[in-house]
Amino acid sequence: MMVKKSFAKVNIFLKIVGVRDNYHLLASRFVLVKDLYDEVSFIEKSVDSFTLIGDFSCSLEKNTVYKAYKELEKYEIVREFFKKYIVKIDKKIPEFAGLGGGSSNCATFLNMVNDICNLNLTKDELSKIGAKIGADIPFFIYEYDSANVSGIGEIVEEFIEEPLKIEVVTPNILCNTALIYKTFRENYYKELDKEKAKELFATNSKDILKSFSIKEANDLYESALSLNPDLKEFEKEKWFFSGSGSSFFKVL
Ligand SMILES: C[C@@](CO)(OP(=O)(O)O)[C@H](O)COP(=O)(O)OP(=O)(O)OC[C@H]1O[C@@H](n2ccc(N)nc2=O)[C@H](O)[C@@H]1O
Ligand SMILES: Nc1ncnc2c1ncn2[C@@H]1O[C@H](COP(=O)(O)OP(=O)(O)O)[C@@H](O)[C@H]1O
């Protein structure tokens, strides 16, 4: 059996710097949460077609891991492999949580298949495949503990800093990413200027959070709050908001 951890992430800060079609251009620091992860396993079992088991709320066709398989099924070695192995995902990362669980699973799967089937794709090539499936996937492909992420998520630059211990709380509130971005664009739109973004990209995560309020750190927070007012109850000093929510986090 082959198994690999698929970590959650938080966005230490998430600032909007522009738009591209229906998407938003970001300047964001992504950090892996090392003690919150799903496990992706390939288990030996003969099957007729690609088989994915796990506790998901979506259909197989919508699953990011299935979408990744569809991108790789042009390789005969991949088609043959998944006739002999099934994929099992042990889910611990809550869904719709701003923790990138689905994106992380997809990237972990792409990295595992690349290694096990000797596809010899580079991280950049895998990242391009991932970006077709979801904006957050490239970050997880590179496996950096901490990175500056820009574009709509496809530009990932490692940021070297001390390992961070992060505590996460996920309220049982479903935050719809697409709607939160749409509401941001219609009602709360603002852009961070390029120089400020550069400054943030050069500053370590702990120092950034010392100087920011929850709203200042995450441009999507106001929009998420307007759509889900119950989030307000979870606001506490030194706690921040990840991505489009609903998770809050604290750096210990
Ligand atoms: C907000 C963030 C921050 O890390 O994460 P989550 O809160 O989802 O974890 C990401 O930008 C979410 O990335 P991801 O969840 O992969 O987005 P996708 O599935 O590609 O897109 C969902 C929808 O979000 C909007 N979207 C996404 C990314 C982006 N840079 N601009 C956008 O406007 C688009 O409307 C898109 O249709
Ligand atoms: N492998 C997967 N794990 C979890 N959710 C998935 C997966 N594939 C697709 N999804 C779908 O992705 C959406 C939530 O994505 P997820 O990554 O869990 O949250 P978020 O984008 O808030 O970080 C849900 O519609 C969920 O059903």
* Domains defined for the chain, CATH in brackets: 2-251 (3.30.230.10)
- Is 136 catalytic? The answer is yes
Can you list the pairs that 158-163 forms with residues at least 24 positions away whose Cβ atoms lie under 8 Å?
Answer: 159/29, 159/201, 159/204, 161/204, 161/205, 161/206, 162/204, 162/206, 163/34
- Using the mean position of ligand 1's atoms as its centre, give its distance from the Cα of residue 179 in Å: 10
User: What is the reported pLDDT for 33?
Assistant: 98
- Using the mean position of ligand 1's atoms as its centre, give its distance from the Cα of residue 43 in Å: 31
Question: Annotated catalytic residue: which of 15, 38, 67, 136?
Answer: 136
User: What is the reported pLDDT for 170?
Assistant: 98
Q: Can you tell me the distance from the alpha carbon of 241 to that of 10, in angstroms, rounded to the nearest whole number?
A: 8
**ipTM score of complex:** 0.95
Q: Which amino acid is at 226?
A: S
User: What is the reported pLDDT for 56?
Assistant: 94
Question: Hey, what's the torsion of the CAs at 113, 117, 121, 125, to 10 degrees?
Answer: -30
- Is 5 catalytic? The answer is no
Of 251, 234, 4, whose CA–CA distance to 97 is shortest?
234
- Using the mean position of ligand 1's atoms as its centre, give its distance from the Cα of residue 178 in Å: 7
Tens place of pLDDT per residue across the chain (252 aa) = 699 999 999 999 999 999 999 999 999 999 999 999 999 999 999 999 999 999 999 999 999 999 999 999 999 999 999 999 999 999 999 999 999 999 999 999 999 999 999 999 999 999 999 999 999 999 999 999 999 999 999 999 999 999 999 999 999 999 999 999 999 999 999 999 999 999 999 999 999 999 999 999 999 999 999 999 999 999 999 999 999 999 999 999
Q: pLDDT averaged over the chain? A: 97
Report pLDDT digits (tens) over 147-184.
999 999 999 999 999 999 999 999 999 999 999 999 99
User: What is the reported pLDDT for 137?
Assistant: 98
- Does pTM top 0.90 for this prediction? yes
Assess contact for 241 and 219: CB atoms under 8 A: no
- Three-state DSSP at 210 gives helix
96 marked ligand binding residue: yes
* Half-sphere exposure in the Cβ direction for 187 (13 Å, CA): 13
